[in-house]
Structure 1
Amino acid sequence: MNLDTGKLRALTLDLDDTLWPIWPTIARAESALQAWLQRHAPRVTERFDLAAMRADREAVARERPDWAHDLSALRRESIRRLLVAAGETEALLDAAFSVFLAERQCVDLYADSLPALQRLAARWPLFALSNGNADLVRIGLQPWFRGSLAAREFGVGKPDPRIFAAACERLGCAPNEVLHVGDDLRLDVHGALDAGMQAAWVRRDGEGREDDVIGAGVRCWQGPDLLALADRLGV
């Protein structure tokens, strides 16, 4: 699809798996949490290895679909359950979650992310729109963004059109004047298009033909990274 750059006044960007790979980050955060629990709540790690801790986190997500927009709540509940099951005090919950959350902010940016953000932010206001719990200030990317909106803060997450509409309102733009950039076909591309926005699909794996993967009639830009998008936008 040819983007309507003549109308473009702002960009919203997904964070996890768009600016950095999320699973290496989560793995490090879980390992840091496990190490902290081994020192401060050893009965948890005696009973649950890392695989069992991850399985419990997934079980909480299945049991609490009403928390799907709040990954912090899901993680906290999982830690609480592990503490209780192992006979440790729930008073450790806040400290344990803080260890996980701090390490979760230690991301490794894709090589293209920072130079692309610099180019894009020099031309348009950028706004972070995420279902995750990344903190742009702690990560060090705040200077490139005019603002951010997380599903946890808003109450619903992508692909719900309401969170996209809220981002457009905060930017002071009509939906068709905003390009949403993300890695997930359902959450980012279809969510943005359903909200009346333009969409860019960052497909780092590069697999599949456009019609095979996106679906006939779904119109969006797609490319291998953010620098390719910056090139396409002429910045």
Structure 2
Amino acid sequence: MLDLSKIKAISLDLDDTLWPVWPAIERAEAELLQWLVDYAPATAARYNSTEALRGVRVQLEAERPDLRHDLSALRRESIRLALQLAGEDTDLAEPAFDVFFAARQRVDLYADALPALEWLAARYPLVALSNGNADVHRVGIGTHFTAALSAREFGVAKPDPRIFHAAAVAAGVAPDAVLHVGDDPLLDVVAAVQAGMQAVWVNRGQHAWSHAVQPHLHVAELGALCALLAQQR
């Protein structure tokens, strides 16, 4: 059960908690491929679909475990590898990645996300806590957050407890005063509980829970969380 009296700050996952991530990724990959058609035609011919380009990224992730916490570096270096294998200028990886990254920031928020952010930010310090490479300021929601921590910048990814503890430090509270909110059962819920926090599972797809560690609260959308927290205010 959620102990409302303990909550002094909230950390929030981004991808698939505030917006669906795959539409943004697919759009970004499509724009990257079109850029390669225009500026690196040999690479575009060799990797002539977004699935083929994604395959290079998957290959590199297996070969470079040191990049798994940094999705921007992983994507940039996979583009560089594709250019190299196609015999084109690898310096094109930088502008190509810029095209991908800009498109990746164009997300479609869930209908409940912005009203919830506005309500929560007026009452708690909010910290964005993500393994992904979305930038809350470029997405357009940065004003609602006290801080934003990404695995890329911090150097380790969820479920490492250190990134959860860093979120508590950023909010100026102890870990047990933080409520973490996210969609991933292991990376968000189990990891947050093991880091000493309370955790809310945002289960938009009506999935079954299958882990021994339980969420303190299970909601289908963020409005339900705000309604519960309002009981304490």
State if a TM-score over 0.5 links the two structures.
yes
Give the whole-Å Cα distance in 2 for the aligned partners of 1:190 and 1:131.
Answer: 15
Q: Which runs of 5+ in 1 are unaligned?
A: none
Query: What amino acid maps onto 1:207 in structure 2?
Result: H
> Is the Cα contact below 8 Å between 2:190 and 2:213 reproduced in 1?
no
**Paired residue for 2:6?**
7
Cα drift, residue 5 of structure 1? 1.1
TM-score normalised over the length of structure 2: 0.96
Query: What amino acid maps onto 2:26 in structure 1?
Result: A
Q: How does 1:97-112 map to 2 (within 5 A)?
A: 97-112=97-112
Matched, 1:53 2:53: yes
Residues matched between the structures, number: 230
Q: Which runs of 5+ in 2 are unaligned?
A: none
Cα drift, residue 231 of structure 1? 1.1
1:170-203 C-alpha deviation (Å, 9 max, x unpaired): 2111111000000000000011011100100000
**Paired residue for 1:20?**
19
**Paired residue for 1:114?**
114
Query: 1:149 is paired with a residue of what secondary structure?
Result: strand
* Aligned pair partner of 2:218 in 219, 222, 230: 222
**Paired residue for 2:153?**
153
Give the whole-Å Cα distance in 1 for the aligned partners of 2:155 and 2:222.
Answer: 28
Cα drift, residue 216 of structure 1? 4.1
Query: What amino acid maps onto 2:95 in structure 1?
Result: A
**Root mean square deviation of aligned Cα:** 1.1
**Paired residue for 1:169?**
169
Give the whole-Å Cα distance in 2 for the aligned partners of 1:145 and 1:160.
Answer: 22
Deviates more, 1:124-133 or 1:47-56: 47-56
1:54-82 C-alpha deviation (Å, 9 max, x unpaired): 11111111111221110011101110011
Give the whole-Å Cα distance in 2 for the aligned partners of 1:189 and 1:227.
Answer: 18
Query: What amino acid maps onto 1:12 in structure 2?
Result: S
Give the whole-Å Cα distance in 2 for the aligned partners of 1:219 and 1:92.
Answer: 45
Query: What amino acid maps onto 2:83 in structure 1?
Result: L
Give the whole-Å Cα distance in 2 for the aligned partners of 1:80 and 1:217.
Answer: 41
TM-score normalised over the length of structure 1: 0.95
Give the whole-Å Cα distance in 2 for the aligned partners of 1:84 and 1:165.
Answer: 40
Deviates more, 1:34-43 or 1:54-63: 54-63
1:78-119 C-alpha deviation (Å, 9 max, x unpaired): 100110111110121110000000000000000000011111
Give the whole-Å Cα distance in 2 for the aligned partners of 1:48 and 1:175.
Answer: 46
Give the whole-Å Cα distance in 2 for the aligned partners of 1:216 and 1:233.
Answer: 25
